Amino acid sequence: MGRASRGLMAELGRPEIKAICVATTASTVVACRSDGMPLCPALLWMDCRAAAEAERSAASRNSVMAYVGGSNASEWLISKAMWLKEHEPKLYAGADIICECLDYVNFLLSGRWVGSRKNATCKWNYDSVERRFPSELYEELGVPGLEAKLPPEILPVGGAIGALTTAAAEHLGLGNRPLLVQGGIDAHIGMLGAGTLKPGDMLMIGGTSVVQLFQ
């Protein structure tokens, strides 16, 4: 990506970039150290190894489960964290950060660990009403203290993360350090580009996965 961006910026005369926003697949999960060093290959969004863990979540009566249809999916961060805890306990214990690839890319760009309220609400059982991680649910699901491994600050889509680091700006071939703003799940952010923003609008995306999003 850096090589492509440097080439494009050089071709365009290195114009000033005001802001950058990242959207990624979800949940593609990264387990890493606080300095960003990965401890294992990322668990891709379509990885369904955590099916049994996801099924266990259906037994919970925690109120936040009402936001996700009553149970978690195997592709989501929480289910994958449960799988890591059960099947790779040393790796899980050694991970300072368990996050989405969105958070990882934003860390590489800014040096800050922050999560997106979009991803956290949809995939982490984050309580967006109370603005908190449901520690009691994580304990019930067998991952007590998981909130300590998640990005500590949650920002809404469009929230300011900060300026790109000098190293990140140089890697991308930028002539300035633009503002990095919070993004989210790729298909969901696609609603902005598609203009499906009015009540009753629907966006249908077909590809590796099929997504139907209603306003």
**208: confidence class by pLDDT, cuts 50, 70, 90:** confident
Beta bridge partners of 116: 155
Model confidence at 171: pLDDT above 90: yes
Look up the domain containing 61 and give its range. 2-214
What is the tally of structural domains in the chain?
1
Q: What is the amino acid identity at position 2?
A: G
Q: HEC states along 85-128?
A: HHHCHHHHHHCCEEEEHHHHHHHHHHCCCEEEHHHHHHHCCCEC
CATH of the domain at 156: 3.30.420.40
Q: Residue 195: left (phi > 0), alpha (psi -120 to 50), or beta?
A: left
The answer to whether 102 touches 49, Cβ cutoff 8 Å, is no
What digits encode the pLDDT tens for the residues 177-189? 999 999 999 999 9
